[in-house]
Amino acid sequence: MTTSGISRRGALRMFGIGALGMAGVGALGACAPSPSNSGSASNGGDTKSKDFDFTSWSLNEEAARPAIEKIIAAWEKAEKSKVRAVSYPYNEYLSQLTLKLGGGETTGAIHLDIAWLAAVAQMGKLADLGSVAPKGGYTDVALKSGVYDGKQYGLPWNTGSIGVIANSKLLAKAGIKKHPATVEEFEDALRAIKGLGGGVVPYAAATKVAQLKDIFPWMQTFGCTLMDGEKVTIGDDASVDAVTWYKKLHDAKLIAADVDRFDARALFGQGKAAFYDDAVIGKGVTAAQSKDKTLADAMQPMMRPVLRSGDTPQALLWGGVIAIVNGKGQDAATEFALHTTSDLATTSEYFTSRALPPSTTAGLADPKVAQDTFTTEWTEKITKTATGSPFWQFAQNAQIEEAVAKQVQAVLVGKSKPKDAMRKAGEEVAALIKR
């Protein structure tokens, strides 16, 4: 996750898609102790050992590895300990990690995408970090990203969100003087931008199955909660309204067919899109790929438009946490995780090298971070109200997202009506959850 370019695998990582091996997680979780027993589950090693493992997919990525190796080396020197670095490619990471964890072969600290925390916590191998987390000075939204079933299983390393990025140059050209705040204003803005001609796609929204889970924040914008307790609410009037609106944008050519995150970045980078959805690091990634060297200055974080004035803007939480495995090296690994995620000098240097927002109040206030206007505005406008997906708690999350995405795409291509598609999507999600 860098600002100077990104591999396809790295981009997949941002949005929790790819071969996550969730079926394997479910199989392991079925025979593992429950999270409530996690305080006693252990690999049997010496919890006081100063030596431990640190497992992270980022250690497998050329752009990320040097910054993390520097953190590890500094820790080893200061603490006179040995940290064994372990890594797997991102698309294999979760399945490999859960297999090793289930077999008692994984110890120490482990880096987790926040979308995976619930599935791993359900294995009953993670330490409860509730007594440690208050020491870090983390923001409230960051702390919540490390919580599952009421317990703090992860210390937030980097916390951001997926939201809307606007091209101020295109908006100005279309006579739009301020960001649209409501869905109605947004649609009006899209029509004004379409009027510019030249092949512009006003909103480079996701329309391919791989990224169509981007519809979830729009469903929430229209009032669908996705879940209410244990009940799946997809299929209600609000979800139907959201998909009907999405279809209207599609038919009016305000969004385009067959667009995924990579296509959206390309369109935006070419000056052919005024809005698109991305993570906070999207500015660096997209600007680096663009021939327009002034694009970065035109990129602005925008709060997702709300249905009615006064509603809370919707955004999906995004980031990573460090969790601790009960057993060998547990105490030292916990201190390492706390240091890595909250030490001001460490988080500041990590931000400088990777442009990933810190998870602490002090880290966000650090001049190196605060002077990055885009990151600061993103935190205030988008991450502030971001929430995790209610489906992350299920090992079948990937299948759930795909089931809904396929039904939305069926609507877009005219193979299904919104009401029928959402009813079917809700039924499929409910069936997946009951597995």
Question: Which 3 state secondary structure label does DSSP give 127?
Answer: coil
Determine the Cα–Cα distance for residues 298 and 186; give it in Å rounded to an integer: 18
Q: What is the pLDDT of residues 155-165, one digit of tens each?
A: 999 999 999 99
DSSP-based helix, strand, coil % in the chain, nearest 5: 50, 15, 35
The residues with which 299 forms a beta bridge, in sequence order, are: 167
pLDDT value for 396: 87
The residues with which 317 forms a beta bridge, in sequence order, are: 161
pLDDT value for 44: 66
Residues 6+ apart with CB under 8 A from 100: 106
Question: Which amino acid is it at 281?
Answer: I
With b for 16 or more beta-carbon neighbours within 10 A and e for fewer, the 71-94 pattern comes to: bbebbeeeeebebeebbbebbebb
**Tokens representing residue 355 in the block:** 């442009």
Q: Give kind and range of the element (H or E) at residue 273.
A: strand 273-279
Residue entry with tokens 């299920």: 394
Determine the Cα–Cα distance for residues 155 and 334; give it in Å rounded to an integer: 9
CA dihedral angle for residue 340, residue 346, residue 349, residue 351, rounded to 10 degrees = 40
What is the chain's length? 435
Residue entry with tokens 């009813």: 423
Question: Which amino acid is it at 176?
Answer: I
pLDDT value for 316: 95
In DSSP notation, 52-103 reads EEEE-GGGGSTTTHHHHHHHHHHHHHHHT--EEEE---HHHHHHHHHHHHHT
Contact 16, 10 (CB under 8 A): no
Determine the Cα–Cα distance for residues 298 and 430; give it in Å rounded to an integer: 43
pLDDT value for 302: 98
- Count the Cβ atoms, other than its own, within 10 Å of residue 210: 16
- Count the Cβ atoms, other than its own, within 10 Å of residue 432: 19
- Considering just the CA atoms, what is the radius of gyration of the chain in Å? 22
The residues with which 201 forms a beta bridge, in sequence order, are: 273
Contact 355, 375 (CB under 8 A): yes
pLDDT value for 42: 54
Closest CA to 295 of 305, 304, 284: 284
Question: Which 3 state secondary structure label does DSSP give 10?
Answer: helix
Quote the crossing angle between the two packed helices 330-342 and 344-354, to the nearest 10°: 60
pLDDT value for 226: 98
Q: What is the pLDDT of residues 248-266, one digit of tens each?
A: 999 999 999 999 999 999 9
**Tokens representing residue 260 in the block:** 């995924």
Low-confidence ranges of the chain (pLDDT < 70): 1-44
Question: Which 3 state secondary structure label does DSSP give 293?
Answer: coil
Q: Which domains does the chain have, with CATH numbers?
A: 8-160+318-388 (3.40.190.10), 162-315+391-433 (3.40.190.10)
Determine the Cα–Cα distance for residues 318 and 13; give it in Å rounded to an integer: 10
pLDDT value for 45: 80
For 214, counting Cβ atoms within 10 Å of its Cβ (0-12 exposed, 13-18 middle, 19+ buried), the class is buried
